A and B are shown apart, each in its own frame.
Chain A
């Protein structure tokens, strides 16, 4: 690799990586607490995962296997670009296979395949402060976290029920970590919230523009906030995936034509392909196995 010489390993300089690692360690020591860090300019715009990329760059080693997903898919622009970025600047192995990845950088989904001990899930976070839309002052929200004043979070849920008859928040659903800090799980669908609870994988959250890192260590309790008479519920789907017939997974609606045709398919593309390879067929699956586009082969 001749072009790797122009970059330090994994793009960031070593001092920056040490600074970010310190923030990560502090985040792991205080689960759910937002640690400020000196976020760097990255060769991509804010909002495209600069926080997640910095966290990944700080923890990745030459023997890691990286998977990047965007809304569950391995083949969307953001996922392909970030995967190519680390292939170039760190020369690491990349994969789309959840089980064989050691680091999974994600934008807004947790893979359907259960994560295992030793894996690290890196979330890209746009707005790390769960209280932000209720209390605009950062000085005040920090004080509220420090003093554990979380009544306001329930005001938001109360508003949902008053307006919609149920808790209508479907993503970025606030959680309480290890009985202490209220945390924004990043805009993952609330369907994924139960997967965070006592997960054997380490979960790291990076918000580049907002300059915050937070973490959920393995086997940490993550409880979704709710009311006694309106308990937390995940989304349910009344039909299985149209391609692989999977049930109890998170589905995306895909528009097929201009005449109202649509289908629901797995948002996790890796999970869907694996199932089709195993022979599962949904009602809209083609007869022969559909080869995925121009994706990198699994390592």
Chain B
């Protein structure tokens, strides 16, 4: 690990006309660190994530990413080709709805192998072996490799999406509500899996969620957003156990106790 952050975000803002998407967001993300972004819907979490992953261009502000050669590059000044290359090699993006992140009409094996083929892998046997390996790591049976994701349950689809993203060994993964829409037992297993993978691979991740339990389990640090602004940030345990901003206190006290 180096002393330098992986991603430096400074005064990032995105406006939709006169409406605020996110406003003046700054933070650093270090290698291997999981940062949770929490807040109610409409608070700008997803806008922030889309800006950071260059799926949206911000209205103002900068974000620089430390490439594998150690050089920082300004994300919004890169060419589209470079950004797309980064997207499919060094980054991953896990969508809330797996159908957005998967090719639903090609087999699970091809879904996992697509990124490998995109970076020039041209050996079928090796691609397939890698796909088998990754399916087992996300607890999908090897005999499902030739099935289409349409035939998979919601939890399996989400795990397949994760495998598809991690196959090129990315250093930074963006996750948008990775457990949204899954029932609690499936959520628990997925979180367990994600936690294991993040630790094993030393991934840095930015996880957007409205579920504080997910943030607690996955992240070391969290940011709380409201109306497009970051109103509180700090170590996850500190924020959840000792919330300072009134809104964070409200959020933490709103967790349903079973």
CA distance A161 to B106 in the complex (A): 12
A159 is an interface residue with CB less than 8 A from chain B? yes
Does residue A230 face the partner (Cβ distance < 8 Å to B)? yes
User: Is the Cβ of A227 less than 8 Å from the Cβ of B118?
Assistant: no
User: Given known contacts A151-B118, A154-B117, A155-B106, is B124 in contact with A161 (CB within 8 Å)?
Assistant: yes
Q: How far is the CB of B91 from chain A (nearest CB, A)?
A: 15
- Report whether A162 and B110 are in contact in the complex, using a CB–CB cutoff of 8 Å: yes
Q: Cβ of B125 < 8 Å from any Cβ of A?
A: yes
With A158-B124, A228-B122, A230-B124 in contact, is A151–B107 under 8 Å at CB?
no
Q: Which of A226-278 contact B (CB under 8 A)?
A: 226-230
Q: Is the CB of A163 within 8 A of B146?
A: yes
Scoring B106, B110, B146 by chain A CB atoms within 10 A of each residue's CB, the highest score goes to B110
Q: How distant is B129 from chain A, measured CB to nearest CB, in Å?
A: 11
Q: How far is the CA of A134 from the CA of B118 in the complex (A)?
A: 14
Q: Does A147 contact B (CB under 8 A)?
A: yes
| Closest chain A CB from B112 CB (angstroms) | 10
- CB-CB contacts of B120-145 with A at 8 A, as 1s and 0s? 00111101100000000000000001
Question: Which residues on B sit within 8 Å (CB–CB) of A149?
Answer: 84, 118
With A162-B109, A162-B110 as known contacts, state yes or no: A155 contacts B124, CB within 8 Å. no
Residues A158 and B118 in contact in the complex (CB < 8 Å), given A229-B125, A230-B124: no
Say what secondary structure dominates the interface of chain A.
helix
B115 at the interface (CB under 8 A from A): yes
Chain B residues whose CB sits within 8 angstroms of the CB of A228 once the complex forms = 122-124
- CB A256 to nearest CB in B, in angstroms, measures 39
Is B122 a contact partner of A155 (Cβ separation < 8 A)? no
Please encode chain A, from 135 to 152, with 1 for each CB lying within 8 Å of some chain B CB and 0 for all others.
000000001000101011
Docked-complex contact B124 and A229, CB < 8 angstroms: yes
Interface flag for B81 (CB, 8 Å): yes
Residues of B within 8 A of A154 (CB): 117, 122
A134 contacts across to B, CB distance below 8 A: 103, 106
Residue of B nearest to A227 (CB): B124
Q: Which residues of B contact A159 (CB under 8 A)?
A: 106-107, 110
**Of the residues A147, A151, A163, contact of B117 by C-beta under 8 Å:** A151
* B113 within 8 A of partner (CB): yes
Interface residues of B in 35-77 (CB under 8 A from A): none
Q: Nearest chain-A residue to B114 (Cβ)?
A: A155
* Cα of A259 to Cα of B74 in the assembled complex, Å: 72
Q: Which of B86-115 contact A (CB under 8 A)?
A: 88, 103, 106-107, 109-110, 113-115
Tell me the smallest distance from the CB of A222 to a CB of chain B, in Å. 18
B186 within 8 A of A: no
How long is the Cα–Cα vector from A147 to B113 in the complex, in angstroms? 20
Instruction: Kindly state whether residue B28 has any CB partner on chain A within 8 Å.
Output: no
Closest to B80 in A: A147
Q: A161-B124, A162-B146, A230-B124 are in contact. Are A155 and B103 (CB under 8 A)?
A: yes
A158-B123 contact, Cβ under 8 Å, with A147-B81, A151-B117, A152-B118 = no
Q: What residue in chain A is nearest B148 (Cβ atoms)?
A: A159
* Chain A residues with CB under 8 A of B119: 151
Q: Say how far A153's CB is from chain B's closest CB, in angstroms.
A: 8
Contacts of B122 in A (CB 8 A): 154, 226-228
| Residue among A143, A151, A152, A228 facing the most chain B CB atoms (10 A cut-off) | A151
Which residues of chain A are within 8 angstroms of B117 by Cβ–Cβ distance? Answer: 151-152, 154-155, 158
A149 to B117: give the CA distance in the assembly, Å: 10
Chain B residues with Cβ below 8 Å from A158 are 109-110, 113, 117, 124, 127-128
Cβ-closest chain A residue relative to B79: A147
Q: Which residues of B contact A151 (CB under 8 A)?
A: 88, 114-115, 117-119
With the chains together, A143 CA to B80 CA distance in Å? Answer: 10
Compute how far the CA of A227 lies from the CA of B126 in the bound complex, rounded to whole angstroms.
11
The smallest C-beta distance from B16 to any residue of chain A, in angstroms, reads 21
A147 B84 Cβ-Cβ under 8 A: yes
Whose C-beta in chain A lies nearest to the C-beta of B116?
A151
- Please give the distance in Å from A171's CB to the nearest CB on chain B: 20
Chain B residue, CB-CB nearest to A161: B124
CB closest residue in chain A, given B127: A158
Per-residue contact bits, chain A 29-48, to B (CB 8 Å; 1 contact, 0 not) = 00000000000000000000
- B interface list, Cβ under 8 A from A: 80-81, 84, 88, 103, 106-107, 109-110, 113-115, 117-119, 122-125, 127-128, 145-146
Chain A positions near chain B (C-beta within 8 angstroms): 134, 143, 147, 149, 151-152, 154-156, 158-159, 161-163, 226-230
Having A155-B113, A227-B122, A227-B123, one finds 12 other A-B pairs with CB under 8 Å, namely A134-B103, A147-B81, A149-B118, A151-B115, A151-B117, A151-B119, A158-B109, A161-B124, A226-B122, A228-B122, A228-B123, A229-B123
Considering the complex of A and B, which 9 residue pairs feature the smallest CB-CB distances, nearest first? A151-B118, A154-B117, A151-B117, A227-B124, A228-B123, A147-B81, A158-B110, A155-B110, A162-B146
Instruction: Jot down 15 A-B pairs with beta carbons below 8 A, ordered by A.
Output: A147-B84, A151-B115, A151-B119, A152-B114, A152-B117, A152-B118, A155-B103, A158-B110, A158-B113, A159-B107, A162-B110, A162-B128, A162-B145, A227-B124, A228-B124
